[in-house]
Structure 1
Amino acid sequence: MSILVFYGSYRSERMGIRLANYIIRQLARRTGDVELVDAKAVNLPMLDRMYKEYRKGEAPANLEALAQKIKAADGFVFVTGEYNWGIQPGLKNLTDHFLEEWFWRPAAIASYSAGRLSGARASTAWHGTLSEMGMVVISSTIAVGQIGHALSVEGEPVGEGGKALEASFPRFADDLAWWIEAAKAQRQRKPPPY
């Protein structure tokens, strides 16, 4: 199972990377093949041309490399903070560079915030966005409020928020794994209709 974990904050003191690192470690124990895709590190420009709008071999190297990773992955996790009741612009920009590359694979959403609402509004917005982009969004989500008190700098669970995260993670991971296996089996059985 190959899973890409997408993280999109460009802020200088990024708290959500703690959650991304926690998810990567936990999924790697279960599947072994998990990779972080950090929008800040990939550093795509603001969307002008989608990957598919470049002629073969003419896309910028970082865009081409990411397209190949997305195509090869079995599933995705989107780790998103909430900005003013909405989604992170860095993660949205990275996601919008692609379309068909996402098709027919499951996606999971893990949200966070500095406040108590855990990024729930961003999670809700991402659900519709990812569905529109051809992904099957699993029903299990992770939501971490007051992230600075729930995960240490190293991404280790602490306090009551950390306990809640540890309690919710197994179902989240099992749900994602089930959908990944189902989608892989279906793709092998029958080619996607488009």
Structure 2
Amino acid sequence: MLGAMMGDGAVLAAVAKMNRDRRDAEQEQPQAQPNVRTSQDPKRRLQYPCIVGTYSQIKSICSAAQCEGQAHHIIPDFTKRYGNREDGVAGRKRIPGMPTFNDGASICLNGMAAEEQSEHAEAHGADALIEGLGSGKSYYPAGTAPILLIAAEATNQLLMMKAGDIECIAKIRAAVAAELLPVNSNLLGRTTPDALPPIGSPQYDALSRGMTATRH
């Protein structure tokens, strides 16, 4: 039913093409991408240390790191589970082969996720882009996409936000690379931030079984 699996090379090529297309679009029309919120005050991004590590390593120090915010999973945790956040924290309904909630690469960001114009809210601008990957036009089933493509969208959002902070960019890239090293880059991740896959649906079946990506 799922057809032939994509090779790692195909996914890497897709990521490279996505990044090239994005750079070309930015050069032609330098403005914020649709569905991506950008900060009204970019200077504040450099007013506190760039703290990156696993969620368990940094969650208790972000609020005390002069960023007045929270730890944020660089690759959103919802993409690594088919249950709700409570399930994910407890280790239930996580996609086989994905990191745990506490092991996910994370960064301290200013503000709360629901706080308008905060840096944390801006990072969640990637959620809509991730959701677009699971439209069902390219990968089966709808509501899923290769974790490598999901990671690219989420990481690029943060790299854009931290543009000019070379040290922080290096930390982000290193943390994401370390998280993905043991993970099959073709492994399907969830792309629906606000909706859980219904039990018995193709999305639920693919995620709960740890299936890999196939193209239509």
**TM (normalized to structure 1)?**
0.31
**TM (normalized to structure 2)?**
0.29
Query: Which structure has more strand as a fraction of its residues?
Result: 1
RCO comparison, higher one (Cα < 8 Å, 6+): 2
